[in-house]
Amino acid sequence: MPKKIIVTGAAGFIGSCLVGKLNELGYENLILVDDFSSNLKKPNWINKHYALCVPREDFLRRAHELSADIEVVFHLGARTDTTEMNEKVFDVLNLNYSKQIFDFCSQYQIPLLYASSAATYGGGELGYSDDHHFIPFLQPLNPYGISKNEFDKWVLQQEIAPPFWAGFKFFNVYGPNEYHKNRMASVIFHSVNQIRNTGKVRLFRSHRPDYADGMQKRDFIYVFDVVETLIRFWKNRPVSGIYNLGTGKAEPFLRLAEAVFEALELPPAIEFIDTPIDIRDKYQYFTQADIHKLEATGLAPNFTSLHDGIIDYVGRFLKDQKYY
């Protein structure tokens, strides 16, 4: 019997896409970990092939029984709401739970790959380098980013570690299976819905003189490039550490919106609105992953351009509300 592959957050966006990709590659020896009570998330996992579903709160207890049978842990489960201000929620779900999983993988010498976030970079004052020396000095802008950075800092202080581990600072990931994410879904997802409902896309107006409206930039990465990288790292085990996972190329929201209209075969109709007051002082105008460390491993995929990713995502999934 092949050893089991653990995926936490398996009912979520990136986790379910990883499960789907593993299934495509012939892996069905999967243990899915998540809160499976949400009907909104059910289509993400219900048709996948797996050995076992384990509720998140039961996993650590069950994991010790299964330890001899586990090949790798992909820890992608987290509370990802950047507007949630209750730090205790993040302490429980993001920080302490992740510490327990790291300790478990260290104890049983199981490789661990986990999700960090570009939210750890805050406003980008220190740039976007994944050099470990910068991590203690980063100043995230919200409790979600703080929780991710606190875990990264804690990991780097551990003397006992899994035989291989990697944390990935995901930049702006988009792609199928994000229907349940509501406000936290990608701009591409919201743009398609806005066009369906109103015939136009609304983008945030710039509140800074050095950025024109719609020229705020993000490093957008297609979810299939993310899961491809995770699988390559698991298979090849480069140097353990924390890695940026973006394309290394920032793109403006205006280009994104234009590509969505192209994918829907419609002429662009874009309206600019004020950035909501509750996020205006925390809004990032520019993010771009420094991917030198990732590229040095030789494991970076050929990143999908934002234009091509949008055409694929909208055409294959969003147009007909399909899942991966």
Known catalytic residues are: 144, 181
Q: Are 272 and 205 in contact (CB under 8 A)?
A: yes
In this structure, the number of other CB atoms found within 10 A of the CB of residue 24 comes to 10
Name residue 32's beta-bridge partners.
7, 53
CB atoms within 10 A of CB 317: 19
Token pair belonging to 15? 């986790």
- Alpha-carbon gap, residue 62 to 15, rounded angstroms: 20
If you write DSSP's letter for every residue of 178-203 in order, what string do you get?
-GGGGGGS-HHHHHHHHHHHHSSEEE
As to burial, measured by CB atoms within 10 angstroms (0-12 exposed, 13-18 middle, 19+ buried), residue 273 is exposed
Write out the E strands in the chain. 4-8, 30-34, 52-55, 70-75, 112-117, 165-170, 172-174, 201-204, 217-218, 220-222, 241-245, 251-252, 270-273
> How far apart, in whole angstroms, are the C-alpha atoms of residue 251 and residue 260?
14
**CA distances from residue 152 to 73, 111, 130, 157, 292 in whole angstroms, order as listed:** 17, 16, 11, 9, 19
Which tokens go with 57?
Answer: 């709160």
Residue with tokens 């029984």: 65
